[in-house]
Amino acid sequence: MELPAVPRRPSQTKIVATLGPATHGRDKIEALVKAGVDVFRLNMAHGSFDEHDARVRWIREIEQDLKTPLGILIDLGGPKIRLGELKNGALECQPGMQVTFVMEETAQQPTDLPVSCPEVITALKEGDRVVLADGTVTLQVIGKSENRATCLVTQPGLVRSRQGVNLPGVKLPLAAITDADREALAWALQKDIDFVGLSFVRSPDDIHELRKLIGNVQNPPQIVAKIEKPEALDCLDEILDLADAVMVARGDLGVEIDIADVAIVQKRILAAAKRHRKPAIVATQMLESMQRSRIPTRAEVSDVTNAILDGADACMLSGETAIGNYPVESVTMMHRIALATESVSQPPVRYQAGDSEAANTADITEASVWHAGLIAHEVGAKMMIILTRSGQTALTIAKHRFLVPTIGVSESPHVLRRMCLYWGIIPLMEAPLNDSPALLRFATEWGKREGLIQSGDRVVFVYGTGLVSSAHNTVSVFVAE
């Protein structure tokens, strides 16, 4: 049987890359896969359905050609307030310049900032602060009429068409899921998308509403709760109980809360995701300077490193791969940083007897996973293999971070794609699942080819015997031939 053709050493930290004009094309997407991308993000606030159709088709073709599972995440725009089309596509806001919010789709004057959401101008009052372009530009309202609000530029910068508008401290009566989101979701369900990102989550009710809209489809997409509103932090545990994954969406989060608190809040969200056994993505400006530079700043390298050390399952690239000049280089750099960080990571302290974070051994799968990791550590295993139906066992292993490269195999292509977001899990396609000896040969040959193991190394295999329904109750150790 032909082995999957992954032409790189996979990092345990997963990489999510946003597609856009800079990466629109089959060859460009394939280059990103070969550089290290595991999940592709489609931002439904940008691009047409025809463009997204093509991207989904190319991703699935590449998946089959390389025999490498690839996840697809659609990011619903949510009730995000965006500028319309600026007069010249962009506006350089200078200190002291006056600009005007107008209730239009398209600007008529160079200094007009069009917004089609009437609630914005209605809610603004003199003295309010308005933040644009992920916090890089700040305005202060100095005058207002029924359909216009005049502002003074207090923090200069470049503003582009369709960029976001934030009103810190102003609560707008906007629905969590917009009509555009419903249309995008209907499209996604037809395309068998793997993950759906819900923007501006404020309460568990928002997750309930999206789950209801998804309905009883055969392979429902996983819901990724994007944490970017202060209200979400007040009920974080309840949101994580209901969502399938979480994203630390630092762009809007860093505008809605004090920017000095962003790193602390990020650590809090990652710790909560670990407790709830949910994958966590850290996003926004991770390698921002690489939109225009081949080399990131030292601070950006430290940012990615610390996100991984804090427990991020995945790190996400946004503008770097969507509109940047160096998309492949950005992925390659993130991959390099992940490998460097993982090379100095320590085994989990939960190996120590009596640790309070030890697994809940009342659950059969949890107990099997916990002891599989302990066995792998004690015998010096170089690789683990997990056979899973739902992917939950693979996720449990991922959240324990045993540091042993782990192969995930499943009869479901949807489960394989979900595992693309799980830290340390390498999903393999076309594994011979009905023949255990053949499966072990298949996985070990792949491991040897990738340089993860060699003949004589010990490998741990976690699987179910069928004697216990829906549980993994067997752990075995074998020596690679």
300/389 same-domain check? no
pLDDT single digits (tens) 248-262: 999 889 988 999 999
Give me the percent of the chain exceeding a pLDDT of 70: 93
Q: Is the pLDDT of residue 113 over 90?
A: yes
462/422 same-domain check? yes
136/90 same-domain check? yes
Question: What is the pLDDT at residue 462?
Answer: 87
Query: Any bridge partners for residue 316, and if so which?
Result: 16
Q: Is the pLDDT of residue 292 over 70?
A: yes
| Closest C-alpha to 199, from 234, 246, 133 | 246
Measure Cα distances from 189 to 182, 215, 218, 222, 410 in Å.
11, 10, 10, 11, 22
CATH, residue 310 = 3.20.20.60
317/412 same-domain check? no
Question: What is the pLDDT at residue 164?
Answer: 87
456, part of any domain = yes
1, part of any domain = no
376, part of any domain = yes
Question: What is the pLDDT at residue 195?
Answer: 99
238/360 same-domain check? no
By residue range, what is the domain housing residue 445?
349-479
Domain boundary residue, one of 319, 343, 367: 343
Q: Is the pLDDT of residue 351 over 90?
A: no
Question: What is the pLDDT at residue 385?
Answer: 92
Question: What is the pLDDT at residue 2?
Answer: 52
CATH, residue 123 = 2.40.33.10
CATH, residue 405 = 3.40.1380.20
pLDDT single digits (tens) 57-83: 999 999 999 999 999 999 999 988 989
* Number of domains composing the chain: 3
pLDDT single digits (tens) 130-169: 999 878 899 999 999 888 999 999 999 999 998 989 998 7
Distance CA 371, CA 448 (A): 25
Distance CA 396, CA 389 (A): 13
At 210, is the pLDDT very low, low, confident or very high (cuts 50, 70, 90)? Answer: very high
353/419 same-domain check? yes
Amino acid at 215: G
Distance CA 83, CA 102 (A): 10
Q: Is the pLDDT of residue 5 over 80?
A: no
332/229 same-domain check? yes
Q: Is the pLDDT of residue 7 over 70?
A: no
Q: Residues 276-284: what's their mean pLDDT?
A: 96
Q: Residues 26-44: what's their mean pLDDT?
A: 98
CA angle 447, 453, 458 (to 5 degrees): 110
Question: What is the pLDDT at residue 355?
Answer: 44
353/463 same-domain check? yes
Question: What is the pLDDT at residue 426?
Answer: 95
pLDDT single digits (tens) 309-331: 999 999 999 999 999 999 999 99
Read off the tokens for 122.
Answer: 């209605």
115/215 same-domain check? no
7, part of any domain = no
419, part of any domain = yes
297, part of any domain = yes
| Closest C-alpha to 396, from 359, 351, 356, 428 | 359
Q: Residues 170-186: what's their mean pLDDT?
A: 91
Q: What is the dihedral of CA 414, 237, 134, 306, to 10 degrees?
A: -80
| Closest C-alpha to 72, from 190, 187, 191 | 191
In the block, which residue shows the tokens 């005007």?
100
Going edge to edge, which strands form the sheet with 458-463?
425-427, 406-409, 383-387, 458-463, 474-479
Question: What is the pLDDT at residue 178?
Answer: 94
Give the residue, 359 or 30, on which the prediction is more confident. Answer: 30
Q: Residues 433-457: what's their mean pLDDT?
A: 89
Q: What is the pTM of this model?
A: 0.89
Domain boundary residue, one of 287, 312, 343: 343
2, part of any domain = no
213/238 same-domain check? yes
286/431 same-domain check? no
Distance CA 210, CA 236 (A): 17
Give the residue, 198 or 374, on which the prediction is more confident. Answer: 198
Question: What is the pLDDT at residue 360?
Answer: 52
171, part of any domain = no
For the chain, first and last CA: distance in Å? Answer: 17
115/247 same-domain check? no
Measure Cα distances from 463 to 67, 409, 440, 447 in Å.
23, 10, 12, 18
- Residue by residue, what is the 3-state secondary structure of 398-456? HHHCCCCCEEEECCCHHHHHHHHHCCCEEECCCCCCCCHHHHHHHHHHHHHHCCCCCCC
Q: Is the pLDDT of residue 190 over 90?
A: yes
Domain boundary residue, one of 113, 145, 166: 166
Mean pLDDT of the chain: 90
What's the chain's length in residues? 481
